[in-house]
Every structure is written in C-alpha cells, then in structure tokens.
C-alpha cells in the first residue's frame, strides 16, 4: 500500500487538501486543488504496478483448470464404471452358460440312468 501522510497540502497554494480528494488519489484518480486547480496524481510504485499487472494467483485460470480436471475425473469414473459393468455382464453371462451346461449334464445323467 502507498503510505499516505495524514495531511496533504497543495504544493501550489498551500491549501489543506480535503479527505475525499486524498481518497481519490489513493484510488489512482486525478484530483484537483479546490482553491487553485493544481492537478495531483499519485504515481503507483513499481512493486505495486507489477503486482497489479501480474496477480500472484490467477484465480480465473485456477477455476478453469479445476473445472477441466473435474470433468476429466468424471469422464474417467464413467469409463471405469462402464468397463466394470461390461465385465460383470460378461462374467454373469459366462456363469449362466456354465449353469446351463451343468443343467444339461444333470438331465443327461438322469435320463441315462
């Protein structure tokens, strides 16, 4: 943050500058002395302008990345689930075939006897 003095005086006419004018300056706005019309503008220091240009964390990008990762995760879960279900169906079908075969064997055995 830019360190502000408690009171600011116009460098041109010496008038005490009002608080709202100082607030405008803090926000980077141009302000004018009410008495003589002297123009004021605070220069933001290099560190701050650098921070303004390049935020430490790009939340928008982070959000998009997170969303994409969640989508990927969801797709993977869907894929794995499908494979498991498909395998289960195959297994059930196989078991069914075996039971059928066993049933035929039993029937044959009973009929032969």
Residue with Cβ nearer Zn ion (36 or 85): 36
Residue with Cβ nearer Zn ion (21 or 38): 38
Instruction: Please say whether the dihedral angle defined by the alpha carbons of residues 80, 81, 82 and 86, taken in this order, is positive or negative.
Output: positive
Neighbours of 15 (CB within 10 A): 14
Among 8, 17, 31, 33, binds Zn ion (CB under 5 A): 33
Q: Structure tokens of 101?
A: 């075969």
Range 37-96, binding Zn ion (CB under 5 A): 38
Among 35, 48, 65, 105, binds Zn ion (CB under 5 A): 35
DSSP 8-state code for residue 27: T
Residue 100 CB burial class (10 angstroms; 0-12, 13-18, ≥19)? exposed
The verdict on 13 binding Zn ion (CB under 5 A) reads: yes
DSSP 8-state code for residue 6: S
Residue with Cβ nearer Zn ion (16 or 83): 16
Binding site for Zn ion (CB under 5 A): 10, 12-13, 15, 33, 35-36, 38
């Amino acid at each position: 943050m830019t360190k502000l003095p408690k009171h600011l005086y116009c460098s041109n006419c010496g008038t005490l500058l009002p608080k709202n004018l100082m607030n405008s300056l803090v926000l980077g706005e141009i302000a004018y002395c009410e008495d003589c019309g002297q123009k004021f503008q605070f220069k933001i220091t290099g560190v701050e302008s650098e921070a303004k240009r390049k935020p430490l964390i790009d939340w928008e990008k982070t959000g998009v990345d997170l969303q994409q990762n969640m989508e990927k995760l969801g797709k993977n879960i869907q894929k794995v689930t499908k494979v498991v279900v498909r395998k289960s169906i195959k297994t059930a079908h196989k078991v069914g075939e075996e039971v059928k075969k066993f049933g035929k064997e039993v029937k044959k055995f009973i009929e032969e006897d």
